């Protein structure tokens, strides 16, 4: 009798690094009369109360999940989102400057939100052309992609065969998943605050496992039960 071959659940290839990509929690609202403080030219708001609740939900979901490291960007909203999980797991977050959000040029400090809310023609053009650098002095996709390839490569080199939580930004997650999938640049733009996306990296191959998973924000705190974990 020929041997029967079952379908098996996905397992990362040997030596692969699993990146659990979390968008930071909701940050403080933009105030037209007071721009956000800047860090290296980029807006650096703190978390809003809603964002702190999202950070706590992430920690509750991953409290029993084996993790080998936590990474954050230079902007405090990622560090503040990561801290509850770091406290639960006893891990010290590592800062990688290349995980910072796309630089929005003349629209930094909260102005980007205002322009989008107002339906500014340049904001509409940005979406239509899927290019950040339609904003004066904003970062190009080439620059963003280059530094993210470097950041992902470094994390992979440090953590082969391991699982890592990366607390970063919406524009970063969109670019990583676009490169992993070969999609249009903005196909994955719009990850919710506090959401989980999942990429497996082995060598130069990046594989998308999930996008915008918000189960932990909907009172489902199980990561192991996810069909794509």
Cβ–Cβ < 8 Å for 125, 138:
no
The pLDDT score that the predictor gives to residue 224 is 39
Quick check: is 129 in a domain?
Answer: no
The pLDDT score that the predictor gives to residue 219 is 57
Catalytic residue among 18, 101, 108, 175: 101
Cβ atoms within 10 Å, residue 35? 14
Quick check: is 82 in a domain?
Answer: yes
pTM (two decimals): 0.92
The pLDDT score that the predictor gives to residue 33 is 87
Quick check: is 211 in a domain?
Answer: yes
Quick check: is 201 in a domain?
Answer: yes
The pLDDT score that the predictor gives to residue 3 is 87
Catalytic residue among 18, 24, 103, 175: 24
Domain housing 173: 17-101+140-218
Quick check: is 131 in a domain?
Answer: no
Quick check: is 5 in a domain?
Answer: no
Quick check: is 227 in a domain?
Answer: no
Cβ–Cβ < 8 Å for 57, 71:
no
Q: Rounded CA gap, 91 and 193, in Å?
A: 22
Q: Residue 50 is part of a domain; what is its CATH number? A: 3.40.50.1240
Averaged in consecutive runs of 10 residues, what is the pLDDT profile of the chain (229 residues)? Answer: 88 97 97 93 97 98 97 98 98 98 97 96 97 98 98 98 98 98 97 98 97 86 36
Q: Which two tokens stand for residue 69?
A: 């490291």
For residue 216, indicate whether it is catalytic: no
Cβ–Cβ < 8 Å for 31, 114:
no
- Dump the DSSP string for 7-24: -----PPTT-EEEEEEEP
For residue 18, indicate whether it is catalytic: no
The pLDDT score that the predictor gives to residue 105 is 98
What is the tally of structural domains in the chain? 1
Quick check: is 3 in a domain?
Answer: no
Q: Which two tokens stand for residue 209?
A: 């496992």
What 3-state DSSP class applies to 77? helix
Characterise 110 by phi-psi region: left (phi > 0), alpha (psi -120 to 50), beta (else).
left
């Amino acid at each position: 009798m020929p041997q029967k071959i079952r379908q098996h659940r996905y397992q990362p290839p040997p030596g692969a690094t699993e990146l659990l990509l979390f968008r930071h929690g909701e940050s403080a609202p933009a105030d037209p009369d007071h721009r956000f403080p800047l860090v290296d030219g980029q807006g650096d708001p703190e978390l809003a109360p809603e964002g702190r609740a999202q950070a706590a939900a992430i920690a509750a979901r991953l409290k029993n999940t084996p993790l080998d490291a936590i990474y954050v960007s230079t902007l405090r909203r990622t560090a503040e989102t990561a801290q509850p999980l770091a406290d639960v797991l006893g891990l010290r977050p590592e800062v990688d400057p290349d995980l910072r959000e796309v630089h929005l040029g003349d629209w930094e400090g909260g102005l980007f939100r205002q322009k989008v809310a107002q339906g500014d023609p340049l904001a509409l053009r940005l979406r239509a052309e899927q290019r950040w650098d339609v904003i004066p002095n904003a970062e190009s996709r080439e620059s963003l992609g280059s530094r993210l390839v470097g950041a992902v490569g470094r994390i992979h080199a440090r953590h082969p065969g391991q699982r890592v939580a990366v607390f970063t930004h919406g524009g970063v997650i969109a670019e990583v998943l676009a490169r992993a999938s070969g999609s249009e640049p903005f196909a994955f733009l719009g990850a919710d605050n506090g959401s989980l996306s999942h990429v497996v990296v082995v060598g130069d191959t990046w594989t998308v496992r999930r996008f915008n998973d918000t189960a932990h924000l909907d009172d489902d705190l199980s990561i192991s039960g996810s069909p794509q974990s």
